[in-house]
């Protein structure tokens, strides 16, 4: 009887509530995983969805026009290209941060909503740079019907179209840059040939002339102004 009364009294006492798993923990894990994924694919995003490709290709063609494929070093050109890319992409990156990254970090939107909102400014930037013919070419390769509106262009098809446009514009600018250097090489080679100095490499004489001309006309400033001004 005594033990029965104790058991009955014990069962009648209110049991402590069992704490439910914190739902915020899973949300934090998802956010961390998303950030790590973005960091992993960030180099590909920078090269394929920003102005970095056009800038780096033009800068690389300048040193090949001089005949010095290792000067300036690649690390210098990449660093300059990254800073110029950040300058060009500042409005787009600001929009991505305010519309997607900040609300996601504060828990205001889901991961899916953040991806949709974040791709909007990048899509607008790439559409502003890409010609309709490039988009049509990519859709023709994919054998898919063309969308009715620019906003309906798939990001996976817009990206290669954007890359085609960037390569075309970069090579166009590079061609304009190469012409004066080619003219100097031809003039130097003709002079050496007329003087009978066929054993002297033309690059030995033309390289200092090209460097001097480029410095006198402030070539780096002109090229950067031209490249930065080519973005719409």
Residues 6+ apart with CB under 8 A from 46: 52, 82, 85
Please tell me the predicted confidence (pLDDT) of residue 13: 40
Q: How far apart are CA 96 and CA 117, in angstroms?
A: 7
Which residues lie closer than 8 Å to 32 by C-beta, 6 or more apart? none
Q: What is the pLDDT of residue 145?
A: 82
- What pLDDT is attached to residue 21? 47
Better-predicted residue by pLDDT, 70 or 173: 173
Q: What is the pLDDT of residues 180-208, one digit of tens each?
A: 888 888 888 888 888 777 777 777 788 88
| pLDDT of the residue at 19 | 42
Residue of higher predicted confidence among 9 and 97? 97
Q: State both tokens at 39.
A: 């960091």
Whole-number Å distance between alpha carbons of 55 and 42 = 18
The residue with greater pLDDT, 93 or 38, is: 93
Predicted confidence at residue 87, as pLDDT, reads 87
pLDDT at position 25 is 53
All residues at 6 or more sequence positions from 189 whose CB lies less than 8 Å from its CB, including other chains: 202, 206
Task: Provide the pLDDT for residue 86.
Answer: 87
Max avg pLDDT among 99-108, 152-161, 162-171, 218-227: 162-171
User: What tens digit of pLDDT does each residue of 16-66 get?
Assistant: 444 444 444 555 666 677 667 766 777 777 777 888 888 999 988 888 888
pLDDT reported for residue 9 = 44
Q: What is the pLDDT of residues 129-171, one digit of tens each?
A: 888 888 888 888 888 888 888 777 888 888 888 899 889 999 9
């Amino acid at each position: 009887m005594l033990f029965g009364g104790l058991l009955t009294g014990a069962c009648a006492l209110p049991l402590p509530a069992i704490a439910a798993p914190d739902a915020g923990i899973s949300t934090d894990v998802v956010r961390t995983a998303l950030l790590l994924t973005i960091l992993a694919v960030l180099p590909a995003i920078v090269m394929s969805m920003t102005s970095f490709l056009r800038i780096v290709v033009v800068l690389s063609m300048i040193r090949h026009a001089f005949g010095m494929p290792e000067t300036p070093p690649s690390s210098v050109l990449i660093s300059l290209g990254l800073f110029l890319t950040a300058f060009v992409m500042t409005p787009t990156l600001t929009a991505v941060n305010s519309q997607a990254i900040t609300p996601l970090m504060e828990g205001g939107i889901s991961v899916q909503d953040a991806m949709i909102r974040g791709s909007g400014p990048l899509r607008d930037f790439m559409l502003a740079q890409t010609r309709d013919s490039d988009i049509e070419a990519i859709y023709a390769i994919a054998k898919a019907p063309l969308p009715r509106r620019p906003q309906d262009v798939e990001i996976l098809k817009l990206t290669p179209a954007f890359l085609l446009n960037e390569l075309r514009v970069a090579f166009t600018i590079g061609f304009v840059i190469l012409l004066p250097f080619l003219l100097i090489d031809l003039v130097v080679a003709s002079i050496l040939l007329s003087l009978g100095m066929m054993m002297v490499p033309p690059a030995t004489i033309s390289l200092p002339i090209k460097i001097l001309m480029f410095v006198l006309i402030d070539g780096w400033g002109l090229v950067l102004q031209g490249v930065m001004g080519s973005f719409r």
